[in-house]
Structure 1
Amino acid sequence: MHKAAEIDIVSVSKVYGSTTAVDTISLKIPGGTYCCLLGPSGCGKTSTLRMIAGHESISSGDVRLGNVVVTDFPPARRGTAMMFQSYALFPHLDLVDNVAFSLKMKGIDKDARRAKAMDMLRLMQLEAYATRRPAQLSGGQQQRVALARALITDPEALLLDEPLSALDPFLKIRMRAELKKLQTSLGITFVHVTHSQEEAMALADIIVIMNDGRIEQAAHPRVVFEKPATAFVARFMGDHNVISGRVTKSQGGEMMLSVPAGADFVATGDNGELTDTADIAIRTDHVRIGPPSEKGLGFTGSVTNVEYRGSSVKLSVNGAGIEDFTAIITDKDFFANPVKVGEAIQLSWGREDAIVLGRLKH
């Protein structure tokens, strides 16, 4: 087992000219965890990864690995290894020399480095291909070579920049399982950048959702799914409807929200700082077709789209001042009572399914 470094990012910013790519973020990644940095393009996740690796200078703040401040260290001295999106394999070298390359740069003799490279290829189930060149391999095999090359230095943390984006959907799912297994067996810290919610949910112990250079939420996947911290997280993860409106009442851990030219809704939680507007989230898979049990827990709207998904059906509904409200209904419930586009239907949900969202303080 390797030692696994805790990664501590302390008030780190990255500024390019007048653009702030990463805006004073702080984050602790415990040693030996699988952490996914998730967010839309341009949210700062790759810049953050590259600052941990040392491939990008830090404008302000510090990065610590274990108890060492590595802010000014070159990449080779950090105890991290980076696996790039493009794999960046050397076409003219066979797999053994590709994997052993960093050991060659460190001046380790040929027999020792080739023996270690063979061990790494064995770990990746590629020893049969040792004498081949990258062009003679499939995408999934090339990826495993890139992983072996990154891991040969015994890093305390492996940094992965969208490692699965070039693979076809079936291979992606297989490689996801491989990565998780590898991280668990090596016991080192993995930090993985992705824009796929599904990938992050499947892999991570901690999901860090970034937007506009800032961290919106950093938590276990289940917490992110069930209790999104902000409207951005709820929308980005795609499993909640977000309703914004004016606060008309807030007491006893509940809040009443009024939508412009629409209905009133009740949600659990309060907005703490007593702003006059707020956002609430309602789980898409907890919405039912049928009249609400009480006021504020449903509305009547018109069906704008019906999408069959096999085990479930996704309905889009407009009404009560809300555009594009999503309900995910099980196939059994839907086909027992099918609805068509243009039909007016009542939607409802339970009290515990509507939560008040927080807001990032600027």
Structure 2
Amino acid sequence: MTKAAEIDIASVSKIYGQSTAVHAISLKIPAGTYCCLLGPSGCGKTSTLRMIAGHESISSGDIRLGNTVVTDLPPARRGTAMMFQSYALFPHLDLVDNVAFSLKMKGVDKDERRQKAMDMLRLMQLEAYATRRPAQLSGGQQQRVALARALITDPEALLLDEPLSALDPFLKIRMRAELKRLQTSLGITFVHVTHSQEEAMALADLIVVMNDGRIEQAAAPRVVFERPATAFVARFMGDHNVISGRAASSTNGAVTLDVVNGGQFTAQGAPIEAGQPVDIAVRTDRVRIAPTGVPGLGFTGIVSNIEYRGSTVKLSIDGAGIEDFTAILDDAAFFEQTIKVGDAVPLSWGEADAIVLGRIPI
């Protein structure tokens, strides 16, 4: 296989008429990394992927693959391969001819291209199905054919546009493991677009969270999970509560904020001028049903909803000027108590479980 390449995106924008889909983003994806572009629909992640692939023109900025600036190169000369969401297999061709199609377009000898196609089908554990047509395969098998067809050109980077979205939940989990195994064994750079937080956490070495055409955070999964950079990341990843207010004071690496019509809370972070807007995040799984021993690290609220999730129970709580505050409790801890909707409960958390969030300049 071809050596993996670093992808360097430098101040890249994409403008459609009066609308800006991607706002001057800069990102370095190290060679051999599994990178997931993560965000809601319309955040710019697919436009970014298509600009890397050359299927979308760049309005401004540059993209470099390895040592080559590929900004103005056609897709076939970039050293990338793209696997589309629909798989786009040819229904009238068998698997060998489907996989070998790009080599046929390059004028590669028939025997050579068929041999290489069989090698790729073997890699995907599909050699027994070589004479079948796509309609005779399951969704997971079709996906592996599409992967084989993309990889047969020995790309330096494989680009995947929501490759698991058409699969059922059980097959998604199996194919996640297959994709990670494949990327590890091939050692090439993968860039994978998804709107699934779980998928990105399971697969990526580098998660790039996008919102409204901007990068909110680019970091390892554990960093994104434990220390979200902004309120959007904290809410989108779903593992933190966000409390918004105005800074009251800053002392000894802690910021105190006042919530309108509510309480006063403290979080770890750099000093912020009094009166400035500030967001803090509190880990949902670190919230305890217990009186707070320290001012600013808890409040008493009313339970508005209870969801049993098997190993955990999710409580939604309103109070202290906060709506829909979430506590994720261990199921054993929850059932030791008798909590029901409408109850007033004391909540608390540790000093390390509340952090001050940053803000993306608009």
Per the normalisation by structure 1, the TM-score is: 0.99
Structure 1, 12-21 or 266-275: larger mean CA deviation: 266-275
1:252 offset after TM fit, Å? 1.3
Q: How much has 1:316 moved relative to structure 2?
A: 0.2
Could you tell me how far apart the structure 2 residues matched to 1:321 and 1:184 are? 48
1:360 match: secondary structure: coil
- Whether the 8 Å CA contact 2:247–2:272 is kept in 1: the answer is no
CA shift, 1:2, in A, is 3.0
| Identical positions, percent | 80
Q: Does the aligned pair in 2 maintain the 1:14–1:22 contact within 8 Å?
A: yes
Kept in 2, the 8 Å contact 1:318–1:325? The answer is yes
Counterparts of 1:341 and 1:301, CA distance in 2 = 11
Cα drift, residue 274 of structure 1: 6.3
Per the TM alignment, residue 306 of structure 1 is displaced from its structure 2 partner at its CA by 0.5
Displaced runs of 4+ in structure 1, greater than 3 A? Answer: 271-275
RMSD over aligned Cα atoms: 0.9
Equivalent residue, structure 2, for 1:138: 138
Gaps in structure 2 of 5+ consecutive residues: none
**Separation in structure 2 between the aligned mates of residue 273 and residue 35 of structure 1, nearest angstrom:** 36
Residues of 2 paired with 1:65 and 1:50: CA distance? Answer: 14
Residue of structure 1 in register with 2:189 after alignment: 189
For residues 261 and 157 of structure 1, what CA distance do their matches in structure 2 show? Answer: 52
Which amino acid in structure 2 is aligned with residue 149 of structure 1?
R
Q: Superposition pairs for residues 1-362 of structure 1, below 5 Å?
A: 1-272=1-272, 276-362=276-362
TM-superposition CA deviations, 1:151-196 (whole Å, max 9, x none): 0000000000000000000000000000000000000000000000
- Structure 2: how far apart are the matches of 1:102 and 1:331? 53
TM superposition score normalised by structure 2:
0.99
- Consecutive unaligned residues of structure 1, counting only runs of 5 or more, are none
Q: 1:15-38: per-residue Cα shift (whole Å, max 9, x none)?
A: 000000000000000000000000
Name the SS of the counterpart of 1:182 in structure 2.
helix
1:31-71 CA-partner distances (Å, limit 9, x unpaired) = 00000000000000000000000000000000000010000
On the 8 A contact 2:253/2:271 being kept in 1, the answer is no
Aligned to 2:185, what secondary structure does the other structure show?
helix
Counterpart CA distance in 2 for 1:37 and 1:162 is: 10
Q: How many residues align?
A: 362
* Alignment check: 8 A CA contact 2:255 2:272 kept: no
User: Aligned equivalents of 1:153 and 1:293: distance in 2?
Assistant: 62
Amino acid at match of 1:76: A
Paired residue type of 1:181: R
Aligned partners of 1:271 and 1:357 also within 8 Å: no
User: Secondary structure of 1:278's partner?
Assistant: strand
The change in CA–CA distance for 1:147 and 1:358 in structure 2 (over 3 A counts) is same
Instruction: Specify whether residues 272 and 300 from structure 1 end up closer, same or farther in structure 2 by C-alpha distance, changes over 3 A only.
Output: closer
* Maintained 8 Å contact 1:2/1:187: no
Q: 1:83 and 1:54 mapped to 2: Cα distance? A: 13
